[in-house]
Structure formats: C-alpha cells, structure tokens
Chain A
Amino acid sequence: MAGAASWSFNENDFKQIQTHLLAFLRDSNARCALLVDRNGQLVATVGETPQFDPTAFASLTAADFSANDQLAKMIGEAEFASLVHQGERESMYLADVAKRVILVVLFDQRATLGLVKLKAKSVVGELNKVFAEMFNRVGTGQAQQKGLLEGAEDEIDKLFG
C-alpha cells in the first residue's frame, strides 16, 4: 500500500449521523456531540455550538485516544473502547465508532455519566452501522474523489502560483 486509503461521506450520511446524534443528545441530556476521525479531522458537530476551536479540539482528541490505545496494549488490553474525562462542571465521554471514528460527548451537571454511557452504547451501535456502510462504499468513494479533482491540475498549479 502506497499510503492510507481515503474516504468520503455525502450529505445523506451526514443527515443520518445528525439524526442519530440529535436523538442521543435529547435522551442523555448531554450538550454536544462531536465525531472526529482517528487522524484528527472533525467529521460532524451536533448540539450546542462549542465555544472552543473545534479543529484543534479534534486533533487533540485523536491524539488522546491514540495514546490511550497504546497504553491499553501495554497493560495487555486490546483497546480502551471508551474514555471519561471528568471535570468539576464540564465532562467528556469518548467512545470508539467502527475503529475509525471517535464519538466525543460533552456534558455538564444536567446529565449523569451513567445515563450518557447507557445512551451512548446504543448510539454507537447505530453509528457503527452507518460507518460500516460508508466504508463498504470505498470503491464508490474513491471514484467520487477521483472525479472531484480529475483534470484539476491547472487549478492546483494556479493555487500555488
């Protein structure tokens, strides 16, 4: 393999993700849910608009998850499929989705960790299905991508002067 495979998602995927996450936020009382890919790119944000830089947040989330993954292996675990960071007012719950994406839930005193964990379990199941379908379309995704930039050499040259 020359490099990692690319993937893409369309507006329909986004709508499905949004529907599942909105239902999860309603049921769990959490404030906001973000989906971040394991390489640190933000895929989606649902719920209250975060008051921080979401791009930086996504890269740190991926690094956090990857570092913990390695720690799990060191103590003989295959993985830590979920992580909790508990603060005085604000807390975070992170869970693996389809081994490629991380669900990050931000919640405050209005929600309890138990409820967030419980409801996250079912939404992770739903998201796993959505992403499995998305990754199964890899061929199509690459074709779309190829089409997107095919013949764009001139535009690329122009962009870089």
Chain B
Amino acid sequence: MSMINYASREINCKLVYYGPGLGGKTTNLEHIYGKVSPNTRGKMISLATETERTLFFDFLPVDLGTIRGFKTRFHLYTVPGQVYYNASRKLILKGVDGIVFVADSQIERMEANVESMQNLYDNMAEYGYDLTKIPFVIQYNKRDLPNAAPIKDLQASLNPGWPIEDATRQKQTPDPAHPGETLVDKIGGEWVGHAPYHEAVAVRGDGVFDTLKAVSKFVLKTLS
C-alpha cells in the first residue's frame, strides 16, 4: 500500500523479501546497507535471535531518487523464514507493494523453497492480494555453490507460469534480463506469464542490486 505524502513530497513503498530460512534474505539487506550511501539510507533494524536468525523482521529504508519532485522511499523488510514463525511473517506482508522471493538454489533446499512459495501465496490470499498481479521478482541465490540446481529446474518448480487473462497483457513480452526468454508468451494456445528472475550470490553482492532495481522499478511503473 504505497503512501504519497504531498506535505513532505515523498512516495513511500513497502518491499518484502520472502523465502525459506537461511536462503539469504537478511544478507541481501545487509549488502544494500553496506553499499548505499548513508545519506540515502536509514538505520537497519534487525529483530533477530541470539544466533542471528530473524525472529520478526529486518528493516531498511532506502531512498532511490526523485521522480516528479517526489522522493521515492522504499521500506525493505525481510520475514523470518522458518516455518513456525508464520504468524509474524504474515504480519509483515500487510500493505506490501512488491515482493522478492529469495530462493536457495541448493538442490537439497528445493522442497523448502516450494513450501515457502506456497506459504507466500496462501498468506497473500488471506489478505485478499493476488500474487500474480502485484510486482513480484524471484531471486535464485547461492548460484556459486556446487550443489546449485540448474535454473530451468528452479524455474519449473517455483516459476512455472500462470494464465494471463487480462487482454491488454496478452502479448509476447521479452525478458529484459535474459535475452531470448519471455515474461509473457503463448504456450499451447494459452497466454502464460512468469515472474522476472535474477541469479545472485548475495554474500558477495552479485545480483543483489539487480533484484532491488527490478522490483522497485516494477512497483513505480505500477503506480504510473
């Protein structure tokens, strides 16, 4: 739920990093915190356990620039990934404008990824939000690990596509991040859409800003 403050000339949007436990959500925020100039970001808040597992959320406000004289301020949140923290995870999704799903590429974590994706879909549905209709980007993290699953397998499990019923969107749309691939295409006579995806090694910072840029641009375009 973006909020436009005409008094302070700010557009505030909420982005949530979702995904299975130990997938790299907090690492994404830590990297952004470390790289962005202190003038354009606020304090990072982490409500974590003693073993640095996210208990409630991490929070980082970032200013991404000015559009039409309005400061675009994005509030980045992560959720606790562990299954039993669903009550607090759901609270963080309230009023979300855009979502990044941070998937753990390791073959052993495939089931945890699928479970978390289903949980995201269910939690969104409980608020009456449709995941396929809001800005949503998938990040395949930990691409440097030897046991990382091939992208096509991850895509097949986590981003298999959904029917596009809106006639205005029924046109072949190339994926700007992956030449030769499409975000919307006609498959077997039906229009199918996929979420944009990015590969990442968050611990080194690879792909972290590509993902953030993709989702925030998506959110602003939704407002335009």
Across the interface, which residues of B come within 8 angstroms of A44, CB to CB? 7
A149 touches B128 (CB 8 A): no
**Chain A contact patch, size range:** 35 or more
A152 on the B face (CB < 8 A): yes
Query: Which stretch of B56-64, B105-113, B157-165, B178-186 is in the interface?
Result: B56-64
**B4 near A2: Cβ-Cβ < 8 Å:** no
Q: Is residue B123 contacting chain A, with contact meaning CB distance below 8 A?
A: no
Cβ distance A108 to chain B, nearest Cβ, rounded Å: 23
- Are A59 and B59 closer than 8 Å at their CB atoms? yes
User: Is B75 a contact partner of A149 (Cβ separation < 8 A)?
Assistant: no
In the bound complex, residues from chain B placing their C-beta under 8 Å from that of A70 are 87, 91
Q: State how many angstroms separate the Cβ of B145 from the closest Cβ of chain A.
A: 29
Contact A56 B134 (CB under 8 A): no
A98 to chain B, nearest CB (A): 14
**Minimum C-beta distance from A86 to chain B (A):** 21
A window 140-161: CB within 8 A of B: 141, 144-146, 148-153, 155-157, 159-161
Q: Which of A53-93 contact B (CB under 8 A)?
A: 53, 55-56, 59-60, 63, 66-67, 70
Q: Is the CB–CB distance between B65 and A159 below 8 Å?
A: yes
Please judge, given known A-B contacts A8-B3, A156-B67, whether A63 and B57 are in contact too, CB under 8 Å.
Answer: yes
Cβ of B45 within 8 Å of any chain A Cβ, yes or no, is yes
Contacts of A53 in B (CB 8 A): 42-43
Which residues in A have their C-beta under 8 angstroms from that of B94? Answer: 4, 38-39, 66
Contact among A13, A14, A37, A157 for B3, CB-based, below 8 A: A37
Please name all residues of chain B whose beta carbon is closer than 8 Å to the beta carbon of A49 when the two chains form the complex: none
Contact residues in B for A43 (Cβ distance below 8 Å): 3, 5
Q: Bound state CA distance, A144 and B70, in angstroms?
A: 13
Bound CA–CA A9/B220 (angstroms): 18
| A14/B1 contact (C-beta < 8 A), A39-B14, A160-B216 known | no
Expressed in whole angstroms, the Cα–Cα distance for A142 and B220 within the complex equals 14
Q: Hey, which chain A residues are within 8 Å of B56, CB to CB?
A: 63, 67
B104 adjacent to chain A (CB < 8 Å): no
CA distance A104 to B14 in the complex (A): 21
State the A residues within 8 Å of B (CB). Answer: 1-11, 13-14, 37-41, 43-44, 53, 55-56, 59-60, 63, 66-67, 70, 141, 144-146, 148-153, 155-157, 159-161
